[in-house]
Amino acid sequence: MFTSSRQSSSKASTSTTNFFYTTPPSYELSLEDFESFALSRLIVLRKIEELKVKGLDRNQYNDALKRVVNLQLPSSGPSPSAKKHNEKRDLASHFILRLAYCRTEELRRWLLTQELALFKFRLEDLEKRGGKDMSAFMKNAGISFDKITQDEKQSMQSQLRFNMSYRDFEASSFYRIPFAEAVDLIGRRLVHVRAGMAYVPGGKLVSIICARFRSHLSRSLAKAAASFSHVSSDTRIGPLLKNMNKQYTGRDFGKQHTVEGDMNASNVDEYAQRSMPLCMRQVHDGLKKDHKLKHDGRRQYGLFLKGAGLTMEESLLFFQNEFTKIMSADDFNKNYAYNIRHSYGKEGKRQSYTAFSSTTIIMGPRSNPSEVGSHHGCPFAHSGDASLAALLGKMGIGGKDRDDIMAHKKNKMYQLACAKHFEVTHPGAAKTEGVDLDGVGNHPNAWFNSSVQYWKNKEPAKKDMKGKINTPMAKVERAVVSPGSGTAKEVV
């Protein structure tokens, strides 16, 4: 269905009126688009689940859902190319999640429920636009109904308009639908039934079409489940599919998010020592040692710092300060400054890039320890056992805590290992007010933000020093090992 590539050429219809999803896409997707498209849809489906339990009225629900759909899965765009891209994202994301959520009955039921709600929302919106759009949708989806003649309509007038005004009756077309497809309407006494057929006014077709979509998607998920083992054996997309339901879809770190104390070029070191996850701490320490980073490391770390609140100007200053220890300022400006400005959306296509999620880093390129400046990747996934154990030891993590982390690594539960690392280095975080642990282990910036909030609450700021973090660690050793236990604790 999908081919991993940096190229993409559409061969399947991606019309916005084709959201019945009868034909899978045949165009190529990069791994980056594969993940980002799926996450866009996952954000929408999780928002649907969230809105359902908020007790909103119909208008409030529709308004809230419309906002997130327009943001994550827009059906239009400012240009033909943008519109085509959005249509591709909608089609591809549905089929990706269909694959990712076909594995178990629980996952299939969840996806079916949320996709049906999204389908109904879109169909009702389409209906409001008029008959032409609805007709185009039904044609693309291969849906047709047996429309009764005007003579039949008049002969059955007394039965058909039992719950309609005369004006509505005259304006409506009626369709002959098999009984089994109209159970919902029949149960609510909204349609007339005769000889095993329900006579449904055009305004009630949404319910019938939704029932067909539910049946279509249910069958499709069952078929996908039968072939999942084959699809998931692909080493490029298999891990993404298997972990999709655990993906982080919380706060968007595509733009700078200021943290308490304002990160700047002067205090990145302090944040690194105290609040960076191991994947970023490793890159930071490597940068301080080698005064350079390979391209993948610059992207991983640069976008993380951007999401942590470092402005473009401060990012340029920070990297220049390090790189110019082994090169001239002219060389830095010539070879590296452009890419930093590009990541902030100030060069090239002027697209503002998002900080990498944990899955992106785990699935991404591995560093080569033998190469100077190669420090990117996920230490839990990419480092050898001995290297990771030594790294944890340098951080004062030993005993049972180290063993638990190493066990997660052995079982390839890398994100759980990352979450355990946070737990060990932030004792009592789960009970600390204001510390949100939902994204820890799923996104480096969520890990970072939770850590910053943790230390802010543990030691309220006493004074604001230029270039220093407002919650200084002068009195607190960050994590030491309790003799014999390997458990981190605070030392004042």
- The pLDDT, as a whole number, for residue 280 is 97
Q: State what percent of residues in the chain have pLDDT above 90.
A: 54
Residue 256 falls within a domain, yes or no? no
Residue 301, CA atoms < 13 Å, CB-side half-sphere:
30
Residue 33 falls within a domain, yes or no? yes
Task: Identify the domain containing residue 159 by its residue range.
Answer: 146-206
The domain boundary, picked from 157, 179, 206, lies at 206
Residue 485 falls within a domain, yes or no? yes
In this structure, the answer to whether residues 106 and 188 fall within a common structural domain is no
Please give the backbone phi and psi of residue 13, each rounded to the nearest 5 degrees, phi first.
-65, 135
In this structure, the answer to whether residues 81 and 175 fall within a common structural domain is no
Give the N- to C-terminal CA distance of the chain in Å, as an integer. 58
Residue 235 falls within a domain, yes or no? yes
206 in Cβ contact with 127 (< 8 Å):
yes
The domain boundary, picked from 155, 183, 206, lies at 206
Q: Nearest CA to 42 among 352, 252, 279, 256?
A: 252
pLDDT, tens digit, 9 for 90 and up, residues 269-316 = 999 999 999 999 999 999 999 999 999 999 999 999 999 999 999 999
Q: Which residues are annotated as a binding site for [4Fe-4S] cluster?
A: 279, 378, 418
In this structure, the answer to whether residues 332 and 423 fall within a common structural domain is yes
The yes-or-no verdict on residue 326 having pLDDT over 80 is: yes
In this structure, the answer to whether residues 174 and 322 fall within a common structural domain is no
In this structure, the answer to whether residues 458 and 473 fall within a common structural domain is yes
pLDDT, tens digit, 9 for 90 and up, residues 50-87 = 788 677 899 999 999 999 999 999 987 788 888 899 99
- The pLDDT, as a whole number, for residue 463 is 42
Q: At what angle do helices 205-231 and 105-129 cross, to 10 degrees?
A: 140
| Domain count along the chain | 3
The domain boundary, picked from 180, 206, 232, lies at 206
In this structure, the answer to whether residues 41 and 101 fall within a common structural domain is yes
Q: Which residues are annotated as a binding site?
A: 279, 378, 418
In this structure, the answer to whether residues 227 and 160 fall within a common structural domain is no
Residue 45 falls within a domain, yes or no? yes
In this structure, the answer to whether residues 107 and 226 fall within a common structural domain is yes
Residue 260 falls within a domain, yes or no? no
| Six-digit token string for 344 | 């902030």
Read off the CATH number of the domain in which 71 is found.
1.20.930.80
pTM (whole model) above 0.75 = no
Cα gap 27→24, rounded to integer Å: 9
The yes-or-no verdict on residue 168 having pLDDT over 60 is: yes
Task: Tell me the β-bridge partners of 489.
Answer: 480
In this structure, the answer to whether residues 120 and 161 fall within a common structural domain is no
- The pLDDT, as a whole number, for residue 235 is 87
Least confident of 142-151, 333-342, 361-370, 397-406: 361-370
pLDDT, tens digit, 9 for 90 and up, residues 224-268 = 999 999 988 888 899 889 888 877 676 666 555 545 547 999 999
In this structure, the answer to whether residues 48 and 152 fall within a common structural domain is no
- The pLDDT, as a whole number, for residue 53 is 66
In this structure, the answer to whether residues 199 and 135 fall within a common structural domain is no
In this structure, the answer to whether residues 74 and 7 fall within a common structural domain is yes
How many CB atoms lie under 10 A from the CB of residue 447? 26
Residue 434 falls within a domain, yes or no? yes
Residue 254 falls within a domain, yes or no? no
Cα gap 57→45, rounded to integer Å: 19
pLDDT, tens digit, 9 for 90 and up, residues 9-26 = 333 333 445 789 999 998
